[in-house]
Structure 1
Amino acid sequence: MKYPFLISIPHGGNEIPEEVSSRLALLPEEVSWYCDPATRILFDFGQWVESSIDTPISRMVIDLNRPPLPLPPRDPDGIIKVRTVDGRQVYRPGQLPDLNLIHQLMVKWYFPYHQRIDEIIDKHPIQIAFDCHSMLPYGSAEQSDAGKCRPLICLGNYGDETGQAKPGSLITCPADWVVGLAEIFRDEFKGKDEVAINVPFSGGFISNAHYWRKGIPWIQIEVNRKLYETDGIHGHRPVASEDQVLELREKIWRILARFWDKLSDNK
Protein backbone atom coordinates (compact mmCIF):
# COMPACT_ATOMS: atom_id res chain seq x y z
CA MET A 1 0.00 0.00 0.00
CA LYS A 2 1.27 3.44 -0.94
CA TYR A 3 0.31 6.39 1.22
CA PRO A 4 -1.17 9.32 -0.76
CA PHE A 5 1.75 11.59 0.12
CA LEU A 6 3.95 13.93 -1.89
CA ILE A 7 7.31 14.42 -0.18
CA SER A 8 9.19 17.58 -1.21
CA ILE A 9 12.85 18.00 -0.16
CA PRO A 10 14.04 21.32 -1.66
CA HIS A 11 17.11 22.07 0.48
CA GLY A 12 18.97 18.77 0.71
CA GLY A 13 21.30 19.23 -2.26
CA ASN A 14 24.85 20.51 -2.16
CA GLU A 15 25.74 20.75 -5.87
CA ILE A 16 27.46 23.94 -6.99
CA PRO A 17 27.28 24.59 -10.77
CA GLU A 18 30.54 25.44 -12.49
CA GLU A 19 29.24 28.83 -13.58
CA VAL A 20 28.76 29.80 -9.92
CA SER A 21 31.60 28.06 -8.09
CA SER A 22 34.32 30.62 -8.83
CA ARG A 23 32.09 33.43 -7.58
CA LEU A 24 31.42 32.02 -4.11
CA ALA A 25 33.06 33.33 -0.97
CA LEU A 26 32.01 30.16 0.88
CA LEU A 27 33.94 26.89 0.78
CA PRO A 28 32.09 23.78 -0.51
CA GLU A 29 31.79 22.35 3.01
CA GLU A 30 30.34 25.67 4.20
CA VAL A 31 27.81 25.63 1.38
CA SER A 32 26.69 22.19 2.57
CA TRP A 33 26.46 23.39 6.16
CA TYR A 34 24.07 26.19 5.23
CA CYS A 35 21.74 23.77 3.47
CA ASP A 36 19.68 20.94 5.04
CA PRO A 37 22.28 18.18 5.48
CA ALA A 38 21.09 14.59 5.15
CA THR A 39 17.44 15.48 4.46
CA ARG A 40 17.46 13.62 1.12
CA ILE A 41 18.08 10.47 3.17
CA LEU A 42 16.09 11.45 6.24
CA PHE A 43 12.87 11.93 4.26
CA ASP A 44 13.47 9.23 1.65
CA PHE A 45 10.39 7.09 2.14
CA GLY A 46 10.85 5.19 -1.10
CA GLN A 47 7.96 3.06 -2.28
CA TRP A 48 5.84 3.82 0.79
CA VAL A 49 4.55 7.06 -0.74
CA GLU A 50 2.93 8.01 -4.02
CA SER A 51 5.68 10.41 -5.02
CA SER A 52 8.73 12.35 -3.88
CA ILE A 53 10.74 15.21 -5.31
CA ASP A 54 14.16 16.53 -4.35
CA THR A 55 17.06 18.32 -6.01
CA PRO A 56 20.86 18.12 -6.10
CA ILE A 57 21.29 21.90 -6.30
CA SER A 58 22.40 23.79 -3.20
CA ARG A 59 19.99 26.32 -1.75
CA MET A 60 22.95 28.68 -1.49
CA VAL A 61 22.98 28.79 -5.29
CA ILE A 62 19.21 29.01 -5.81
CA ASP A 63 16.57 28.60 -3.13
CA LEU A 64 13.57 26.68 -4.45
CA ASN A 65 11.53 27.57 -1.35
CA ARG A 66 11.52 31.32 -2.02
CA PRO A 67 9.30 33.36 -4.32
CA PRO A 68 10.87 34.26 -7.68
CA LEU A 69 10.88 37.94 -6.74
CA PRO A 70 12.44 40.09 -5.39
CA LEU A 71 15.87 39.47 -6.83
CA PRO A 72 19.07 40.39 -5.00
CA PRO A 73 20.17 42.55 -3.40
CA ARG A 74 16.70 43.56 -2.17
CA ASP A 75 16.19 40.29 -0.27
CA PRO A 76 19.48 38.94 1.15
CA ASP A 77 17.80 35.61 2.04
CA GLY A 78 15.72 35.30 -1.12
CA ILE A 79 15.89 33.08 -4.17
CA ILE A 80 19.54 34.12 -4.71
CA LYS A 81 21.39 34.39 -1.39
CA VAL A 82 23.41 37.50 -0.59
CA ARG A 83 24.16 36.62 3.04
CA THR A 84 23.95 33.46 5.14
CA VAL A 85 21.65 33.19 8.14
CA ASP A 86 24.53 34.27 10.36
CA GLY A 87 25.51 37.24 8.23
CA ARG A 88 28.35 35.93 6.07
CA GLN A 89 28.66 37.07 2.47
CA VAL A 90 27.83 34.26 0.05
CA TYR A 91 29.67 35.76 -2.95
CA ARG A 92 33.02 37.41 -3.37
CA PRO A 93 32.94 41.20 -3.89
CA GLY A 94 31.49 42.10 -7.27
CA GLN A 95 30.59 38.46 -8.05
CA LEU A 96 26.89 38.38 -7.18
CA PRO A 97 25.12 36.71 -10.16
CA ASP A 98 23.86 39.13 -12.76
CA LEU A 99 20.38 38.99 -14.28
CA ASN A 100 21.47 36.71 -17.13
CA LEU A 101 22.98 34.12 -14.77
CA ILE A 102 20.00 34.32 -12.41
CA HIS A 103 17.72 33.63 -15.38
CA GLN A 104 19.81 30.60 -16.38
CA LEU A 105 19.65 29.18 -12.85
CA MET A 106 15.91 29.71 -12.59
CA VAL A 107 15.22 28.09 -15.96
CA LYS A 108 17.41 25.08 -15.16
CA TRP A 109 16.50 24.50 -11.50
CA TYR A 110 13.72 26.67 -10.10
CA PHE A 111 10.85 26.52 -12.55
CA PRO A 112 11.24 22.77 -13.32
CA TYR A 113 10.97 21.92 -9.60
CA HIS A 114 7.71 23.80 -9.23
CA GLN A 115 6.36 22.49 -12.53
CA ARG A 116 7.16 18.95 -11.41
CA ILE A 117 5.18 19.43 -8.19
CA ASP A 118 2.13 20.46 -10.21
CA GLU A 119 2.57 17.48 -12.56
CA ILE A 120 2.86 15.05 -9.64
CA ILE A 121 -0.32 16.36 -8.05
CA ASP A 122 -2.13 16.13 -11.40
CA LYS A 123 -0.96 12.58 -12.19
CA HIS A 124 -0.94 10.89 -8.77
CA PRO A 125 -3.65 10.44 -6.11
CA ILE A 126 -1.98 12.90 -3.74
CA GLN A 127 -4.07 13.84 -0.71
CA ILE A 128 -1.44 15.65 1.33
CA ALA A 129 2.04 17.03 0.71
CA PHE A 130 4.92 17.51 3.13
CA ASP A 131 7.69 20.03 2.51
CA CYS A 132 10.62 18.60 4.47
CA HIS A 133 13.51 20.50 6.04
CA SER A 134 16.05 20.57 8.85
CA MET A 135 16.87 23.47 11.15
CA LEU A 136 19.78 24.51 13.31
CA PRO A 137 19.34 23.95 17.07
CA TYR A 138 19.21 27.71 17.67
CA GLY A 139 18.21 30.83 15.80
CA SER A 140 21.03 32.44 13.82
CA ALA A 141 22.01 36.10 13.88
CA GLU A 142 19.83 37.23 10.97
CA GLN A 143 16.74 35.23 11.92
CA SER A 144 13.76 36.35 13.98
CA ASP A 145 14.54 33.87 16.77
CA ALA A 146 18.26 34.74 16.98
CA GLY A 147 19.95 33.00 19.89
CA LYS A 148 16.86 31.08 20.99
CA CYS A 149 16.80 27.30 21.37
CA ARG A 150 14.49 25.57 18.93
CA PRO A 151 12.15 22.61 19.44
CA LEU A 152 13.01 19.18 18.11
CA ILE A 153 10.20 19.39 15.56
CA CYS A 154 8.37 22.33 14.01
CA LEU A 155 5.24 21.79 11.91
CA GLY A 156 3.99 24.63 9.74
CA ASN A 157 0.66 25.35 8.05
CA TYR A 158 1.00 29.17 7.84
CA GLY A 159 -1.16 29.65 10.91
CA ASP A 160 -0.65 30.47 14.56
CA GLU A 161 0.67 28.27 17.38
CA THR A 162 -2.59 26.31 17.44
CA GLY A 163 -2.73 25.83 13.67
CA GLN A 164 -5.56 28.33 13.22
CA ALA A 165 -5.48 30.90 10.43
CA LYS A 166 -4.15 34.33 11.25
CA PRO A 167 -6.38 37.33 10.42
CA GLY A 168 -6.42 37.98 6.69
CA SER A 169 -4.58 34.79 5.69
CA LEU A 170 -5.20 31.16 4.76
CA ILE A 171 -3.72 28.03 6.29
CA THR A 172 -2.27 25.32 4.05
CA CYS A 173 -3.97 22.44 5.86
CA PRO A 174 -6.83 22.12 8.38
CA ALA A 175 -5.85 23.10 11.91
CA ASP A 176 -6.97 19.75 13.32
CA TRP A 177 -4.64 17.96 10.89
CA VAL A 178 -1.50 19.78 11.99
CA VAL A 179 -2.54 19.53 15.64
CA GLY A 180 -3.14 15.80 15.24
CA LEU A 181 0.24 15.31 13.62
CA ALA A 182 1.89 17.32 16.41
CA GLU A 183 0.26 15.07 19.02
CA ILE A 184 1.76 11.97 17.44
CA PHE A 185 5.18 13.61 17.19
CA ARG A 186 4.90 14.50 20.89
CA ASP A 187 4.00 10.95 21.73
CA GLU A 188 7.09 9.66 19.94
CA PHE A 189 9.44 12.35 21.25
CA LYS A 190 8.02 12.31 24.79
CA GLY A 191 7.78 16.04 25.32
CA LYS A 192 5.08 18.64 24.67
CA ASP A 193 7.58 21.49 24.42
CA GLU A 194 9.72 19.56 21.93
CA VAL A 195 7.13 19.84 19.15
CA ALA A 196 5.91 23.26 18.03
CA ILE A 197 3.36 24.45 15.49
CA ASN A 198 4.35 27.38 13.27
CA VAL A 199 7.22 28.39 15.58
CA PRO A 200 9.88 29.28 14.53
CA PHE A 201 8.80 28.46 10.95
CA SER A 202 5.25 28.53 9.65
CA GLY A 203 5.95 27.46 6.07
CA GLY A 204 7.72 28.63 2.95
CA PHE A 205 6.91 29.48 -0.63
CA ILE A 206 6.48 25.88 -1.78
CA SER A 207 3.70 24.91 0.60
CA ASN A 208 1.95 28.25 0.31
CA ALA A 209 2.13 28.61 -3.47
CA HIS A 210 1.14 25.06 -4.32
CA TYR A 211 -1.71 25.01 -1.83
CA TRP A 212 -3.07 28.07 -3.60
CA ARG A 213 -2.49 26.50 -7.01
CA LYS A 214 -3.88 23.01 -6.42
CA GLY A 215 -5.76 23.03 -3.10
CA ILE A 216 -3.91 19.96 -1.80
CA PRO A 217 -3.11 20.35 1.93
CA TRP A 218 0.54 21.01 2.77
CA ILE A 219 2.46 20.74 6.02
CA GLN A 220 6.05 21.93 6.37
CA ILE A 221 8.20 19.71 8.61
CA GLU A 222 11.35 21.09 10.25
CA VAL A 223 13.60 18.61 12.09
CA ASN A 224 16.21 19.88 14.55
CA ARG A 225 19.68 18.92 13.34
CA LYS A 226 20.81 18.02 16.85
CA LEU A 227 18.70 14.87 16.48
CA TYR A 228 21.17 13.44 13.97
CA GLU A 229 24.36 15.49 14.01
CA THR A 230 27.36 14.68 16.16
CA ASP A 231 29.27 17.33 18.08
CA GLY A 232 32.04 19.06 16.16
CA ILE A 233 35.64 18.19 17.09
CA HIS A 234 38.49 20.74 17.34
CA GLY A 235 36.34 23.60 16.11
CA HIS A 236 34.84 21.73 13.17
CA ARG A 237 31.13 21.92 12.46
CA PRO A 238 28.90 19.00 13.54
CA VAL A 239 28.36 16.28 10.96
CA ALA A 240 25.45 13.96 10.31
CA SER A 241 25.59 10.51 11.85
CA GLU A 242 24.40 7.94 9.31
CA ASP A 243 23.03 5.63 11.99
CA GLN A 244 21.10 8.42 13.67
CA VAL A 245 19.72 9.63 10.33
CA LEU A 246 18.41 6.18 9.46
CA GLU A 247 16.95 5.64 12.93
CA LEU A 248 15.24 9.02 12.82
CA ARG A 249 13.90 8.34 9.33
CA GLU A 250 12.14 5.21 10.64
CA LYS A 251 10.63 7.18 13.50
CA ILE A 252 9.38 10.01 11.28
CA TRP A 253 7.87 7.54 8.83
CA ARG A 254 6.12 5.73 11.67
CA ILE A 255 4.65 9.05 12.79
CA LEU A 256 3.41 10.04 9.33
CA ALA A 257 1.84 6.63 8.77
CA ARG A 258 0.13 6.71 12.19
CA PHE A 259 -1.17 10.20 11.45
CA TRP A 260 -2.72 9.21 8.13
CA ASP A 261 -4.11 5.93 9.39
CA LYS A 262 -5.80 7.72 12.28
CA LEU A 263 -7.10 10.45 10.00
CA SER A 264 -8.49 7.88 7.55
CA ASP A 265 -10.22 5.96 10.33
CA ASN A 266 -12.01 9.12 11.42
CA LYS A 267 -13.26 10.07 7.96
Structure 2
Amino acid sequence: MDYQFKAGSIPLLVSMPHVGTDIPDDVAAAMTPAAVDKQDTDWHLVRLYEFLGEMGASTLSARWSRYVIDLNRPPENTNLYPGQDTTGLCPVDTFHREPLYREGHTPSEAEVQRRLAAYWKPYHDQLRAELDRLLALHGRVVLWDAHSIASVVPRFFEGKLPDLNFGTADGKSCAQGLSDAIVARALAQDQFSVAVNGRFKGGHITRHYGQPANNVHAIQLEMCQSTYMDEDAPYGYREDRAQQVQGVLKQMTQAAAAWGRA
Protein backbone atom coordinates (compact mmCIF):
# COMPACT_ATOMS: atom_id res chain seq x y z
CA MET A 1 0.00 0.00 0.00
CA ASP A 2 1.26 3.46 -0.90
CA TYR A 3 -0.19 5.13 2.20
CA GLN A 4 -1.85 4.46 5.54
CA PHE A 5 -5.50 5.42 5.74
CA LYS A 6 -8.20 5.24 8.40
CA ALA A 7 -11.74 6.39 7.71
CA GLY A 8 -13.36 8.41 10.46
CA SER A 9 -16.86 9.52 11.33
CA ILE A 10 -16.52 13.28 11.86
CA PRO A 11 -16.04 16.04 9.23
CA LEU A 12 -12.26 16.20 9.71
CA LEU A 13 -9.53 14.64 7.57
CA VAL A 14 -5.90 15.00 8.67
CA SER A 15 -3.34 14.52 5.90
CA MET A 16 0.36 13.86 6.61
CA PRO A 17 2.10 13.85 3.22
CA HIS A 18 5.70 14.10 4.43
CA VAL A 19 5.90 11.40 7.12
CA GLY A 20 6.93 8.64 4.70
CA THR A 21 10.40 7.11 5.00
CA ASP A 22 10.34 4.27 2.44
CA ILE A 23 12.36 4.59 -0.78
CA PRO A 24 11.90 1.93 -3.50
CA ASP A 25 15.03 -0.10 -4.19
CA ASP A 26 15.36 1.08 -7.79
CA VAL A 27 15.19 4.73 -6.71
CA ALA A 28 17.54 4.24 -3.75
CA ALA A 29 20.15 2.70 -6.05
CA ALA A 30 20.68 6.07 -7.72
CA MET A 31 20.80 8.08 -4.50
CA THR A 32 23.53 9.46 -2.25
CA PRO A 33 24.08 8.74 1.48
CA ALA A 34 22.36 12.07 2.24
CA ALA A 35 19.14 10.62 0.84
CA VAL A 36 19.36 7.56 3.05
CA ASP A 37 19.43 9.83 6.13
CA LYS A 38 16.00 11.30 5.14
CA GLN A 39 16.64 14.30 7.35
CA ASP A 40 13.80 16.35 5.83
CA THR A 41 11.10 13.90 6.93
CA ASP A 42 8.20 15.15 9.06
CA TRP A 43 9.30 12.80 11.82
CA HIS A 44 6.89 11.22 14.34
CA LEU A 45 3.76 13.12 13.31
CA VAL A 46 1.61 9.97 13.28
CA ARG A 47 2.60 9.40 16.91
CA LEU A 48 2.12 13.05 17.84
CA TYR A 49 -1.41 13.04 16.38
CA GLU A 50 -2.34 9.61 17.74
CA PHE A 51 -5.27 11.12 19.65
CA LEU A 52 -7.13 11.62 16.35
CA GLY A 53 -8.42 8.05 16.44
CA GLU A 54 -10.32 8.70 19.66
CA MET A 55 -11.78 11.86 18.13
CA GLY A 56 -13.11 9.92 15.14
CA ALA A 57 -11.11 11.88 12.57
CA SER A 58 -10.04 10.39 9.25
CA THR A 59 -6.27 10.15 8.78
CA LEU A 60 -4.12 9.72 5.67
CA SER A 61 -0.33 9.42 5.92
CA ALA A 62 2.35 8.79 3.34
CA ARG A 63 4.48 5.68 3.01
CA TRP A 64 7.05 6.98 0.54
CA SER A 65 9.71 9.55 1.39
CA ARG A 66 9.34 13.05 0.00
CA TYR A 67 12.69 12.38 -1.68
CA VAL A 68 10.89 9.93 -4.00
CA ILE A 69 8.25 12.48 -4.94
CA ASP A 70 6.73 15.34 -2.98
CA LEU A 71 3.03 14.79 -2.39
CA ASN A 72 2.56 18.44 -1.41
CA ARG A 73 3.74 19.87 -4.74
CA PRO A 74 1.56 20.40 -7.83
CA PRO A 75 1.96 17.75 -10.55
CA GLU A 76 3.10 20.40 -13.04
CA ASN A 77 5.87 21.40 -10.56
CA THR A 78 5.08 25.12 -10.45
CA ASN A 79 6.73 27.10 -7.66
CA LEU A 80 4.19 27.81 -4.92
CA TYR A 81 6.33 30.69 -3.62
CA PRO A 82 7.45 32.62 -6.74
CA GLY A 83 10.81 34.28 -6.31
CA GLN A 84 11.73 32.16 -3.30
CA ASP A 85 13.92 29.08 -3.07
CA THR A 86 11.90 25.88 -2.68
CA THR A 87 12.34 22.18 -3.29
CA GLY A 88 10.37 20.75 -6.20
CA LEU A 89 8.07 17.91 -7.10
CA CYS A 90 10.97 15.48 -7.42
CA PRO A 91 13.65 16.97 -5.15
CA VAL A 92 17.27 16.78 -6.26
CA ASP A 93 18.80 18.10 -3.04
CA THR A 94 18.11 18.30 0.69
CA PHE A 95 17.06 21.39 2.64
CA HIS A 96 20.80 21.90 3.22
CA ARG A 97 21.57 21.66 -0.51
CA GLU A 98 23.18 18.23 -0.30
CA PRO A 99 22.66 16.33 -3.59
CA LEU A 100 20.21 13.44 -3.39
CA TYR A 101 21.44 11.67 -6.53
CA ARG A 102 24.77 10.38 -7.65
CA GLU A 103 26.28 12.23 -10.59
CA GLY A 104 24.48 11.37 -13.81
CA HIS A 105 21.49 9.80 -12.04
CA THR A 106 19.14 12.78 -11.64
CA PRO A 107 15.60 11.66 -12.56
CA SER A 108 14.56 12.27 -16.16
CA GLU A 109 11.20 13.82 -17.01
CA ALA A 110 9.96 10.36 -17.94
CA GLU A 111 11.00 9.08 -14.51
CA VAL A 112 9.26 11.98 -12.80
CA GLN A 113 6.06 11.15 -14.70
CA ARG A 114 6.41 7.50 -13.71
CA ARG A 115 6.68 8.46 -10.05
CA LEU A 116 3.69 10.76 -10.36
CA ALA A 117 1.57 7.85 -11.55
CA ALA A 118 3.03 5.26 -9.19
CA TYR A 119 3.39 7.21 -5.91
CA TRP A 120 1.77 10.66 -6.10
CA LYS A 121 -1.55 9.79 -7.69
CA PRO A 122 -2.64 7.02 -5.26
CA TYR A 123 -2.31 9.36 -2.28
CA HIS A 124 -4.27 12.11 -3.97
CA ASP A 125 -6.93 9.72 -5.23
CA GLN A 126 -7.52 8.57 -1.65
CA LEU A 127 -7.49 12.13 -0.37
CA ARG A 128 -10.10 13.19 -2.91
CA ALA A 129 -12.27 10.14 -2.27
CA GLU A 130 -12.31 10.69 1.50
CA LEU A 131 -13.10 14.38 1.18
CA ASP A 132 -16.01 13.49 -1.09
CA ARG A 133 -17.25 10.81 1.32
CA LEU A 134 -17.15 13.14 4.33
CA LEU A 135 -18.73 15.94 2.33
CA ALA A 136 -21.62 13.67 1.39
CA LEU A 137 -22.07 12.66 5.04
CA HIS A 138 -21.77 16.05 6.71
CA GLY A 139 -22.36 18.77 4.12
CA ARG A 140 -18.94 20.30 4.74
CA VAL A 141 -15.51 19.03 5.66
CA VAL A 142 -12.27 20.33 7.15
CA LEU A 143 -8.94 19.21 5.72
CA TRP A 144 -6.01 19.66 8.12
CA ASP A 145 -2.64 19.25 6.41
CA ALA A 146 -0.09 18.34 9.09
CA HIS A 147 3.61 19.13 8.69
CA SER A 148 6.75 19.68 10.74
CA ILE A 149 10.18 21.12 9.97
CA ALA A 150 13.48 21.87 11.68
CA SER A 151 13.20 25.18 13.50
CA VAL A 152 16.24 26.63 11.74
CA VAL A 153 16.75 26.10 7.97
CA PRO A 154 18.87 28.98 6.62
CA ARG A 155 18.21 27.99 2.99
CA PHE A 156 14.58 29.04 3.27
CA PHE A 157 14.36 31.62 6.06
CA GLU A 158 16.42 33.66 8.49
CA GLY A 159 16.57 32.87 12.17
CA LYS A 160 14.22 30.53 14.00
CA LEU A 161 10.72 29.83 12.78
CA PRO A 162 7.68 30.42 14.96
CA ASP A 163 6.59 27.20 16.66
CA LEU A 164 3.15 26.96 15.03
CA ASN A 165 2.78 28.20 11.45
CA PHE A 166 -0.71 28.22 9.97
CA GLY A 167 -1.39 28.58 6.26
CA THR A 168 -4.70 29.24 4.55
CA ALA A 169 -3.43 30.58 1.20
CA ASP A 170 -3.99 34.09 2.56
CA GLY A 171 -7.57 33.23 3.47
CA LYS A 172 -8.52 31.55 0.20
CA SER A 173 -8.49 27.89 1.33
CA CYS A 174 -10.97 28.07 4.22
CA ALA A 175 -13.63 30.21 5.80
CA GLN A 176 -12.38 32.93 8.12
CA GLY A 177 -14.51 31.50 10.90
CA LEU A 178 -12.64 28.21 10.78
CA SER A 179 -9.18 29.73 10.86
CA ASP A 180 -10.26 32.12 13.63
CA ALA A 181 -11.54 29.23 15.76
CA ILE A 182 -8.32 27.25 15.34
CA VAL A 183 -5.90 30.12 15.77
CA ALA A 184 -7.78 31.33 18.86
CA ARG A 185 -6.89 28.05 20.59
CA ALA A 186 -3.26 28.52 19.58
CA LEU A 187 -3.15 32.09 20.89
CA ALA A 188 -4.79 31.11 24.17
CA GLN A 189 -1.48 29.61 25.35
CA ASP A 190 1.85 31.39 25.80
CA GLN A 191 4.30 28.51 25.49
CA PHE A 192 4.45 28.30 21.68
CA SER A 193 4.81 31.18 19.22
CA VAL A 194 2.26 31.48 16.41
CA ALA A 195 2.23 32.81 12.84
CA VAL A 196 -0.59 32.90 10.29
CA ASN A 197 0.13 33.05 6.56
CA GLY A 198 3.72 34.03 7.21
CA ARG A 199 6.53 32.04 5.58
CA PHE A 200 4.11 29.13 5.16
CA LYS A 201 0.84 29.83 3.38
CA GLY A 202 -0.06 26.22 2.61
CA GLY A 203 1.28 23.86 -0.03
CA HIS A 204 -0.43 22.21 -2.97
CA ILE A 205 -2.79 20.14 -0.82
CA THR A 206 -4.12 23.15 1.09
CA ARG A 207 -4.39 25.36 -1.97
CA HIS A 208 -5.81 22.76 -4.35
CA TYR A 209 -8.38 21.05 -2.15
CA GLY A 210 -9.38 24.02 -0.04
CA GLN A 211 -12.51 25.24 -1.83
CA PRO A 212 -14.76 27.05 0.64
CA ALA A 213 -17.39 27.70 -2.04
CA ASN A 214 -17.72 23.90 -2.34
CA ASN A 215 -17.75 23.38 1.45
CA VAL A 216 -14.22 21.96 1.62
CA HIS A 217 -12.09 24.02 4.00
CA ALA A 218 -8.34 23.41 4.23
CA ILE A 219 -5.67 24.65 6.63
CA GLN A 220 -2.01 23.72 6.97
CA LEU A 221 -0.05 23.57 10.21
CA GLU A 222 3.74 23.58 9.93
CA MET A 223 5.22 22.93 13.37
CA CYS A 224 8.78 23.40 14.53
CA GLN A 225 10.17 19.97 15.34
CA SER A 226 11.83 21.42 18.42
CA THR A 227 8.39 21.41 20.05
CA TYR A 228 8.29 17.61 20.26
CA MET A 229 11.55 15.94 19.19
CA ASP A 230 15.33 16.18 18.83
CA GLU A 231 16.14 17.93 15.58
CA ASP A 232 19.50 16.18 15.13
CA ALA A 233 19.99 12.55 14.10
CA PRO A 234 18.72 10.08 15.12
CA TYR A 235 15.73 12.44 15.46
CA GLY A 236 14.37 11.02 18.69
CA TYR A 237 10.83 11.62 19.92
CA ARG A 238 10.73 13.64 23.15
CA GLU A 239 7.75 12.59 25.22
CA ASP A 240 8.32 15.42 27.70
CA ARG A 241 8.01 18.04 24.98
CA ALA A 242 5.38 16.24 22.95
CA GLN A 243 2.89 16.01 25.80
CA GLN A 244 2.86 19.77 26.11
CA VAL A 245 2.24 20.54 22.46
CA GLN A 246 -0.23 17.66 22.10
CA GLY A 247 -2.61 19.44 24.44
CA VAL A 248 -2.68 22.43 22.10
CA LEU A 249 -3.03 20.20 19.03
CA LYS A 250 -6.02 18.46 20.58
CA GLN A 251 -7.76 21.73 21.32
CA MET A 252 -7.13 23.03 17.80
CA THR A 253 -8.27 19.89 15.98
CA GLN A 254 -11.31 19.67 18.24
CA ALA A 255 -12.13 23.25 17.30
CA ALA A 256 -11.78 22.33 13.62
CA ALA A 257 -14.10 19.35 14.02
CA ALA A 258 -16.66 21.38 15.97
CA TRP A 259 -16.67 24.03 13.26
CA GLY A 260 -17.19 21.32 10.66
CA ARG A 261 -20.24 20.00 12.52
CA ALA A 262 -21.83 23.40 13.04
Q: Which TM bucket (shorter chain)?
A: 0.7 to 0.9
Report the Cα offset of residue 84 of structure 1.
1.7
Report the Cα offset of residue 101 of structure 1.
2.7
Report the Cα offset of residue 105 of structure 1.
1.7
C-alpha spacing 1:212/1:251, structure 2 compared with 1 (3 Å): closer
- 1:120 and 2:133 matched: no
Report the Cα offset of residue 58 of structure 1.
0.3
- 1:133 and 2:143 matched: no
Other-structure match for 2:207: 208
8 A contact 2:19–2:42 mirrored in 1: yes
Counterpart residue type for residue 28 of structure 2: S
C-alpha spacing 1:67/1:102, structure 2 compared with 1 (3 Å): same
8 A contact 2:210–2:218 mirrored in 1: yes
8 A contact 1:182–1:196 mirrored in 2: no
Aligned mate of 1:241, from 215, 238, 242: 238
Other-structure match for 1:255: 252
C-alpha spacing 1:190/1:206, structure 2 compared with 1 (3 Å): same
8 A contact 1:76–1:82 mirrored in 2: no
In 1, the alpha carbon distance for the partners of 2:185 and 2:230 equals 26
- 1:101 and 2:108 matched: no
Report the Cα offset of residue 175 of structure 1.
2.5
In 1, the alpha carbon distance for the partners of 2:45 and 2:249 equals 12
Other-structure match for 2:230: 230
- 148-157 vs 212-221, greater mean Cα deviation: 212-221
In 1, the alpha carbon distance for the partners of 2:77 and 2:222 equals 25
Report the Cα offset of residue 204 of structure 1.
0.3
Note the alpha carbon deviations across 1:31-61, whole angstroms, 9 max, x for none.
1x11111112223312423421111100011
Report the Cα offset of residue 177 of structure 1.
2.3
- 1:173 and 2:170 matched: no
Other-structure match for 1:84: 94
The structure showing larger relative contact order (alpha-carbon pairs under 8 Å, at least 6 residues apart) is: 2
In 2, the alpha carbon distance for the partners of 1:10 and 1:54 equals 6
C-alpha spacing 1:90/1:98, structure 2 compared with 1 (3 Å): same
C-alpha spacing 1:215/1:110, structure 2 compared with 1 (3 Å): farther
Unaligned runs of 5+ in 2: 1-7, 79-84
Q: 1:11-30 to 2 correspondence within 5 Å?
A: 11-27=18-34, 30=37
Note the alpha carbon deviations across 1:107-152, whole angstroms, 9 max, x for none.
12101111111111122235211000002112332x1x2x321111
In 1, the alpha carbon distance for the partners of 2:118 and 2:176 equals 36
C-alpha spacing 1:256/1:119, structure 2 compared with 1 (3 Å): same
C-alpha spacing 1:264/1:114, structure 2 compared with 1 (3 Å): closer
C-alpha spacing 1:22/1:205, structure 2 compared with 1 (3 Å): same
8 A contact 1:11–1:63 mirrored in 2: yes
What TM-score, normalized by structure 1, do the two folds share? Answer: 0.80
In 2, the alpha carbon distance for the partners of 1:190 and 1:77 equals 31
Q: CA RMSD in A?
A: 2.7
Other-structure match for 1:168: none
In 2, the alpha carbon distance for the partners of 1:190 and 1:247 equals 9
Report the Cα offset of residue 18 of structure 1.
0.6
In 1, the alpha carbon distance for the partners of 2:36 and 2:46 equals 17
In 1, the alpha carbon distance for the partners of 2:45 and 2:242 equals 9
Q: How many pairs are equivalent?
A: 243
